[in-house]
Structure 1
């Protein structure tokens, strides 16, 4: 549901009618309210069913609308058609930035010359979410007082440091870096390069510290591991502790290649994977499944690989 529809729902609640418009007719939730008779069609206007609509609006929108309105007005965004989830995300970004809990911080994002897709990967559903959403990108720039650059490799490595690093973990996603207590307590230094943006690793110094890779166990995640291993040959892949999820049920976009022949390991380089890793990959391909990086127990993965020579 976008901001235009939310404003119309508010108008229905406070003024008891709203003029018909295409944006309402095309909104699935609004159409559902018509089907359930919470809103009625009255010639040129829509009008609410007093009891049913009031209950619906007060439960789902009344409190949130005022928060959204005040926020959007503050940044002169009241005429934009942002989706409700995007408004929530913008509010979250502002709140974390103001409280100095934004990870990466505004200062790091500026220093990194972060790209639109890099930012999208870190804070939205996927790397292409912000593509062609200029109004949303401009809002992010204004709210955080930054300037996201075009979609090219940024040359900055995000690092969660600790006092006495004993191991380094390169993470495919940013999630582990947002939880600093466990890695710092266990002398684990975390790196985030930005998904496939691993070319910058040729400038990184491991200082002789043992380095591991943590990522999604899907086609894309394992391909990123291989890209990283070509640059840092000593990097080792952590073995997952979490249960697999169905690619189909989770609407996941990273699909295995050669699904009819798991022995091909989806085109991956077999020499990079010990036997039990190969068996795990084949089982995922057969089940059309994947393992989400952040669902793993990072500490247990490291402890396991330290105890077992592979």
Structure 2
């Protein structure tokens, strides 16, 4: 698979996707999804889905549903269905996974050996890996917790914790390069690694100390860093570049090709700010190329940033790969 767009709605949980597939394959479903906002919209504003005459608990597919489903949901459902089967998780409608849960389970599956060897308690694991939901998420989401236990082949999480120094990875057997990612977004699209023939590592924030223990054999590949182009992301890149340089390895930041999707620095949930008290926000100009300095200067001057997730990894890689 070359790409798979997120469905981008909290409504598209696994039970809803399963019910939509039942409507496609069986022309009906008894799943209790009629109170889901998106389903209510389809029932009220289109003729794609309707209640069965004489039994309002059953939904039936209307004219045009087949084409609508194939265009909007079939690829996502089939990809997630195949993954759950591969991971040994029964893909029934009782698994109340969100789409983000499934994509995170993909990352865990790809990194299962390393995660299993560096287990923390359930709160720390949840807070770091399921960072969109918080440290208590796994405690109260039985389906997700049981799926994680199944993937890691463990009965329970340890009671005590230790420093979280592991790599979340998506491997490729003969990589052209290794891409380190500040955020987990690209790792939740594992088809990227196969299409680009690269390894993907999540290395960001306070999780960069793991680079001190990377096997020397891994350091022979060209290395790139994908990150938010804000102060925090660029400062992390500087630290990573310094660490790898001490080990005789160079790394290049992935510069997004034009046109850039700029965001204001005070945008929602953005905590990084430029430092206007010192030149170049305190970043080391020598670390960056003239093209990179030009972009950073514009970002600082206009108080903007570029979010990693707004870039297309394939486009960035081919734009920068030498």
Per-residue deviation, 1:138: 3.4
- How far 1:110 moved relative to its partner? 3.2
Asked if structure 2 preserves the Cα contact closer than 8 Å seen for 1:169 and 1:191, the reply is yes
Which runs of 5 or more structure 1 residues have no equivalent in the other structure?
Answer: 1-56, 64-89
**CA contact 2:205–2:236 (8 Å) conserved in 1:** yes
| Equivalent residue number for residue 316 of structure 2 | 301
Larger radius of gyration: 1
Q: With structure 2 as the length reference, what TM-score do the two structures score? A: 0.56
Structure 1 residues 240, 94: CA separation in 2 closer, same or farther (over 3 Å shift)?
closer
Task: State the TM-score, normalizing by the size of structure 1.
Answer: 0.58
- The correspondence of residues 93-242 of structure 1 with structure 2, limited to 5 A, is 101-105=105-109, 107-108=112-113, 109-114=115-120, 116=123, 119-125=126-132, 129-130=134-135, 136=137, 138-139=139-140, 143=146, 144-145=148-149, 146-147=156-157, 153-205=163-215, 206-233=218-245, 234-241=250-257, 242=260
- Indicate the structure whose relative CO is greater, using CA pairs within 8 Å and at least 6 residues apart: 2
**1:153·1:197 contact (CA, 8 Å) conserved in 2?**
no
Deviations 1:174-206 (A, max 9, x none): 111121223212211111135331111011133
Cα distance in 1 between the residues matched to 2:162 and 2:291: 36
* CA distances 1:30-56 after superposition (whole Å, capped 9, x unpaired): xxxxxxxxxxxxxxxxxxxxxxxxxxx
What secondary structure, in the 3-state scheme, does the structure 2 residue paired with 1:104 have? helix
- Write the distance in 1 (CA, Å) between the matches of 2:141 and 2:178: 31
Distance in 2 between the 1:199 and 1:244 partners?
30
SS at 2:97 equivalent: helix
2:182–2:204: 8 Å Cα contact kept in structure 1? yes
Instruction: Summarize the Cα distance change of 1:118–1:253 in structure 2 as closer, same or farther, 3 Å threshold.
Output: farther
Q: Please list, as runs of the form range in 1=range in 2, the aligned pairs for 1:247-266 lying within 5 A after superposition.
A: 247-258=265-276, 264-266=279-281
Tell me the C-alpha RMSD between the 2 structures: 3.6
Instruction: Give, in whole Å, the separation in 2 of the partners of 1:215 and 1:149.
Output: 33
Counterpart in 1 of 2:306?
A: 291
> Structure 2: how far apart are the matches of 1:223 and 1:195?
10
Q: Structure 2 vs 1, CA of residues 283 and 193 (structure 1 numbering), >3 Å: closer, same or farther?
A: same
